[in-house]
Amino acid sequence: MNTASDQIPFYDIIVMGGGIVGLASAYKINLRYPNLKILVLEKEDQVAAHQTGHNSGVIHSGLYYKPGSYKAKNCVDGRRELVQFAKDHHIPHDICGKIVVATQTSELQHLNKVYNNGIANQVEGVEKITAAQIREIEPFCTGIEGLWVPCTGIIDYADVSRKYVELINNQFTSSKVLTGHEVTGFEKSADYTTVVTPKGKFKGRYLVSCTGLQCDRIAKKEGVDPGMQIVGFRGDYYDLSEKGMNKVKNLIYPVPNPQFPFLGVHFTRMIHGGVECGPNAVFTFKREGYGKTDFNFTDTMEALTYKGTWKLFFKHWRFGLDEYKRAFSKRLFLNRLRYLIPSLEMDDIVPGRAGVRAMALDPEGEMIDDFKIERHGNALHVLNAPSPAATASLAIGTAVCEMAKEQFALN
């Protein structure tokens, strides 16, 4: 006689989160272990619905990251693998290169550090360029010195994610990706965990959580103290209008301010057409809120009762205030863009979309800079996978596969 428990589908591994990191992890584990039955659960009705589908679509070079860090290695290795993957599967992409531009002498020291990082990280072809060379590459851009980074490119990461889904569903007969299945709880047994969703339960011998903006909450539900909390920061973009479109050829970045985790407002040609300008970075009152007035009571209370949030605010209040002003003032946003392209006018830009970044903060208000993956019994939790995680997704997938092999004793 079958019990209700016997009718619950059983999987070797359940991956939670249908963003690019979760899908790449499932794909890479299945490539190594094709006989494993793997299930990916995504709460939205489509994959890549949040950070993956709202990022700038840049194939990052690996220029900015501290040499020897997981970010540096995974970005460079992942970029090379991603470009080959895009070629193999006919995913539209363009290795168009980018420039990083210093507009004042105070930025030259950090520009040089970024260059040295690029050399240490074995970023192909990076070179210093003069003000005249900046003009040759981007005629409307004004700077005193810069870097040319030829291996940077553009792609649509939602396209990449959908290809991962196709491969998981078609290449591995026992594996599948389910959308519209939000993980709401766990029931622990000796040899497996039952994952609870409103549409049914699923048994998994092992779990991998890649849940982005919700990763700390999923970790707590599964019994892990993440030692950090996700605080959302929204980034607003403008688009170049038809009138302004001729002022940018490819990608133009400022020298990042070393005190902040954001790269600053930049210009990005998009693979499906158009040019985006941005983003800014403002605290959001809803983790998955893409509108300027979006609000969620639980998200807001969790963020504002966490001491790390206030420590971050007190440390960077001037920066935060400037970012908030720009969020509600097109004129101030334009003024920042004019650092790089002085000839931009008000009717050269029009309001665009927004994204939300999951910032992992420790209790002291320090941003966790590198990738962070926590092991817990029969589970792995990816707790911090900020940019360049999309570029690095295949390399991160390989790293998760290696950790799964060790933690779950796969063979």
Q: How far is CA 265 from CA 19, 34, 251, 319, 337, in A?
A: 24, 43, 11, 13, 7
Tell whether 283 is covered by a domain. Answer: yes
Dump the DSSP string for 43-89: SSSSSS-STGGGS--EE--S-SSPTTSHHHHHHHHHHHHHHHHHHHT
pTM, 2 dp:
0.95
Do 198 and 324 share a domain, yes or no? no
Tell whether 327 is covered by a domain. Answer: yes
Token pair listed for 80:
């090379």
Do 332 and 361 share a domain, yes or no? yes
Question: Mean per-residue pLDDT for 53-64?
Answer: 95
Do 206 and 236 share a domain, yes or no? no
311-352 pLDDT tens trace? 999 988 888 888 888 889 999 999 999 999 999 999 999 999
Do 200 and 218 share a domain, yes or no? yes
Question: Mean per-residue pLDDT for 147-151?
Answer: 98
**93-94, strands of its sheet edge to edge:** 58-59, 153-155, 93-94
pLDDT of residue 258: 78
Q: Check whether 263 has a pLDDT greater than 80.
A: no
pLDDT tier for residue 259 given thresholds of 50, 70 and 90: confident
112-127 pLDDT tens trace? 999 999 999 999 999 9
Do 264 and 377 share a domain, yes or no? no
Rg (CA), the chain: 22
The answer to whether the beta carbons of residues 233 and 281 sit under 8 Å apart is yes
User: Could you tell me the maximum CA-CA distance found in the chain, to the nearest angstrom?
Assistant: 80
Tell whether 93 is covered by a domain. Answer: no
Rounded-to-integer distance, Cα 358 and Cα 24, Å: 19
Tell whether 314 is covered by a domain. Answer: yes
Q: Check whether 401 has a pLDDT greater than 80.
A: yes
Do 24 and 162 share a domain, yes or no? yes
Rounded-to-integer distance, Cα 153 and Cα 135, Å: 20
Residue type, 63: L
Q: Check whether 261 has a pLDDT greater than 80.
A: no
Choose the weakest-confidence range: 156-160, 258-262, 321-325: 258-262
Do 389 and 325 share a domain, yes or no? no
The answer to whether the beta carbons of residues 102 and 144 sit under 8 Å apart is yes
Q: Which residues contact 377 (CB under 8 A, 6 or more apart)?
A: 223
Do 361 and 263 share a domain, yes or no? yes
Do 239 and 190 share a domain, yes or no? no
Do 234 and 342 share a domain, yes or no? yes
Tell whether 308 is covered by a domain. Answer: yes
Total of domains in the chain = 2
Mean pLDDT computed over every residue of the chain? 95
Q: Check whether 188 has a pLDDT greater than 80.
A: yes
Tell whether 306 is covered by a domain. Answer: yes
64-104 pLDDT tens trace? 999 999 999 999 999 999 999 999 999 999 999 999 999 99
In the chain, % of residues over pLDDT 70: 99
Q: Check whether 2 has a pLDDT greater than 60.
A: no
In the chain, % of residues over pLDDT 90: 90
Do 355 and 242 share a domain, yes or no? yes
The answer to whether the beta carbons of residues 391 and 338 sit under 8 Å apart is no
Question: Mean per-residue pLDDT for 186-200?
Answer: 96
- The 10 Å CB-count burial string (b at 16+, else e) for 164-199 is bbebbeeebeebbbeeebebeebeeeeebbbbbbee
Tell whether 118 is covered by a domain. Answer: no
Count the neighbouring beta carbons within 10 Å of the beta carbon of residue 158: 20
Residue 328 domain boundaries = 229-247+259-367
Tell whether 362 is covered by a domain. Answer: yes
Q: What is the CATH number of the domain that holds 242?
A: 3.30.9
Q: What is the CATH number of the domain that holds 399?
A: 3.50.50.60
Do 176 and 28 share a domain, yes or no? yes
pLDDT of residue 1: 46
366-393 pLDDT tens trace? 999 888 999 999 999 999 998 899 999 9
